[in-house]
Amino acid sequence: SYVIDQQAVINPMLSQMQASNIGQTIVDLSNYTNRYYTTSGGVNASNWLKSRWTTIANGRSDITVEQFTHASWAQKSVILTIKGTDNGNEVVVLGAHLDSINQSGTSETTRAPGADDDASGVASLTEILRTLVAGNYKPRRTIKLMAYAAEEVGLRGSAEIAKSFANAGTNVVGVMQLDMTNYKGAANDIYIFTDYTDSQQNTFVTNLISTYLPTLKVGTDRCGYACSDHASWNAQGYATSMPFESSFSADNPYIHTVNDTYANTGSQADHSLKFARMALAYAVELGSDGP
Ligand SMILES: N[C@H](Cc1ccc(I)cc1)C(=O)NO
Ligand SMILES: [Zn+2]
Ligand SMILES: [Zn+2]
């Protein structure tokens, strides 16, 4: 049962979060020629994110950052863990994908900025991390932030990670995917996707939005296929949610091209900020539950 009772902790943190921080990370990530899973840009972006998250963690002994090595390609996924205080065997996962792709084919020198898809998701996670550390938040459950490799080529990084968690019998109580958060293509602010997700958790997310972000309008839609990394966790039987930037018909037309740039989302991250705030509320409400 999803209890919403962390207002005293969450509301002050929400006002600390800034779109400009998210925008800077989007720019930093989209400056790599590409972040494709087999190129040096893809490898370098992974190493950059690991050191970025390590810096933000600022020496907290309960926070570790690791790279998950994938045997059959070069780009590593990045996993940050905030160890729970007294209910650490229960795990909350927030994910986004690190890689980018150009639909015309992606080699070492092909430009694929991937600003919206999905630097915007990684940047949202980064701002959540910064805010949690600034607020000295210590979760009772373990919280993991994941930047997946190789999403664009068949959700391959998250598939390997989700399988390894299932094999280890890890009790993941919920997963949220942030893939494309900065292009406001349709009337509503956040679209909760209903396929490859968990309906009870989706109701919880909707309730989080009405509690913490009451001015936002929520819609629902479906992908019709395994459209992002949440599907990897869903396949392993875990509860997932995928809040998305727009409706299916109005999604960002620039993705997977050289034009998926920060400028083409208005050189601002106001839409992503809504997702970062929602995802922080999700992390803290779930993360604060005891055994
Ligand atoms: N296919 C997904 C993007 C995507 C996801 C949902 C919808 I609706 C439209 C497009 C992708 O490229 N993820 O990286
Ligand atoms: Zn994509
Ligand atoms: Zn994506």
Report which residue type is found at 14.
Answer: L
Pick the catalytic residue from 116, 151, 198, 289. 151
Is 271 an annotated catalytic residue?
no
Q: Terminal CA-to-CA distance of the chain, rounded, Å?
A: 13
> How far apart are alpha carbons 241 and 86 in whole angstroms?
25
Distance CA 182, CA 120 (A): 6
- Measured in residues, the chain has a length of 291
Q: What pLDDT does 248 receive?
A: 87
Q: What is the pTM of this model?
A: 0.98
- Measured between alpha carbons, how far is 213 from 194 in angstroms, rounded to an integer? 21
CA distances from 78 to 53, 65, 69, 204 (A): 9, 7, 9, 27
**pLDDT value at position 194?**
98
Distance 133 CA to ligand 3 centre (A): 27
Rounded to 10°, the helix 40-57/120-134 angle is 20
Q: Are 269 and 185 in contact (CB under 8 A)?
A: no
Ligand 1 centre distance from Cα of residue 63 (Å)? 31
Burial group, residue 195, by CB count within 10 angstroms (0-12, 13-18, 19+): middle
Question: Given this model, what pLDDT does residue 35 score?
Answer: 99
Q: What is the pLDDT along the chain (291 residues), one digit of tens a residue?
A: 799 999 999 999 999 999 999 999 999 999 999 999 999 999 999 999 999 999 999 999 999 999 999 999 999 999 999 999 999 999 999 999 999 999 999 999 999 999 999 999 999 999 999 999 999 999 999 999 999 999 999 999 999 999 999 999 999 999 999 999 999 999 999 999 999 999 999 999 999 999 999 999 999 999 999 999 999 999 999 999 999 999 988 989 999 999 999 999 999 999 999 999 999 999 999 999 999
User: Which two structure tokens, joined as six digits, stand for 170?
Assistant: 């890890």
Q: Is 256 a catalytic residue?
A: yes
Catalytic residue among 28, 62, 195, 256: 256
Closest CA to 273 of 115, 120, 114: 120
**Assigned token pair, 140:** 């009772």
Is residue 127 a contact partner of residue 17, using CB atoms and an 8 Å limit? yes
Question: Residues with Cβ < 8 Å from 81, sequence gap 6 or more?
Answer: 63, 64, 65, 66, 142, 143, 144
At 74, list the tokens: 């070069």
Amino acid making up residue 175: V
What's the confidence (pLDDT) of residue 196?
98
CA-CA distances (angstroms) from residue 61 to 83, 133, 183, 288?
9, 12, 36, 19
Q: Report the run of H or E that residue 96 belongs to, with start and end.
A: strand 87-97
Question: At 110, which amino acid appears?
Answer: T
Beta-bridged to residue 218, according to DSSP, are 190
Decide if the complex's ipTM is over 0.85. Answer: yes
Cβ(45)–Cβ(98) below 8 Å: yes
Whole-number pLDDT of residue 66: 98
H/E run at residue 243: strand 243-244
Query: Cα torsion for 220, 222, 227, 228, to the nearest 10°?
Result: 30
Query: Which SS3 state, helix, strand or coil, does residue 65 take?
Result: strand
pLDDT value at position 11?
98
Specify the pLDDT at position 1: 75
**Which residues, judged by CB distance below 6 Å to any ligand atom, belong to the binding site of ligand 1?**
117-118, 151-152, 179, 223, 227-228, 244, 248, 251, 255
Catalytic residue among 99, 117, 198, 251: 117
